[in-house]
Structure 1
Amino acid sequence: MTAGAYRPPRDRVWFLRSRAYAVFVARELTSVFVAWTIAYLLLLIAAVTGGTLQEFAVLAARPWMIALNVLALAATTFHAVTFLNLAPKATVVRLDGWRVPDFMIQGGNHTAWLLVSAVLAWVVLR
């Protein structure tokens, strides 16, 4: 009998041992809901341009679809907020040798996000 190489047992929940890892994995998993949101918007555009908006509205009004889209909104919001909060770690901004503080970069990102959202809401809801 030959001895095989040692294989340590796998820890399938390694990310739950650290809050930072758990948030990282959660953010990565929310990418599925970001993809769903994009697919849903493409279906909406196809329904508007293809003349099948009435059928799409019937599908969109189903309780399971509403629940899925509410979950997708929450997941996409979490994804966006955590992504924007990471920007100062990925981007160092210097002005005349002075490093712009992290909170200013985060604040600028969140402000831009809110402004773009407000403009889009104004265009869609008017």
Structure 2
Amino acid sequence: MSGHPAYTEFHPRWYRRQMSTWWWLGKRAYLVFILRELSSVFVAWFVVFGLLMLRAVGQGDGQYQRFLDWAASPWVVVVNVVALLFVLLHAITWFNLAPKAMVVRLRGQRVPGSLVAASQYAGWVVLSAFVIWLLVGAG
């Protein structure tokens, strides 16, 4: 016996199955899971982008125009398009997971998961239409 206090002479060796680094490419569900987790980076990008825009607006017309010039550069546009696709994936997978994560009851009856998801999609469409109306129609 060694002098190590956590040592057990007959401690079993751990069985660890070898796993490829690319395990998540084996099934579509795993791939979607990894992409959804990765989408959080792009959600954070949109938050940072929005905060930078808000700061530029607060600093006056000149700074806001410089921000718009920077935002129109090709690499920023490409990053924003990729981010938009990932944010859409994030929202869609979130809405599809919500009925599985929560049980909604109405008058003692469980509301079907498809109805929960459909109500979230309907709310998304209504809010999107309102934002489009604010940006295009009310101007």
**TM-score of the aligned structures, taking structure 1 as reference length:** 0.89
Map of 2:64 onto structure 1: 53
Q: How many residues align?
A: 123
Q: Percent identity?
A: 44
* Rg comparison, structure with higher value: 2
Deviations 1:54-74 (A, max 9, x none): 100110111111111111111
Structure number with the higher helix fraction is 1
Map of 1:15 onto structure 2: 24
Correspondence 1:64 to 2:71:
no
Distance in 2 of aligned mates of 1:71 and 1:109: 24
Cα RMSD for the two superposed structures: 1.7
**Any stretches of 5+ residues in structure 2 without a counterpart?**
1-12
Distance in 2 of aligned mates of 1:8 and 1:88: 34
**TM-score of the aligned structures, taking structure 2 as reference length:** 0.81
Map of 2:107 onto structure 1: 96
**Any stretches of 5+ residues in structure 1 without a counterpart?**
none
Map of 1:42 onto structure 2: 51
Distance in 1 of aligned mates of 2:109 and 2:122: 22
Q: How does 1:98-113 map to 2 (within 5 A)?
A: 98-113=109-124
Higher relative contact order (CA 8 A, sep 6+): 1
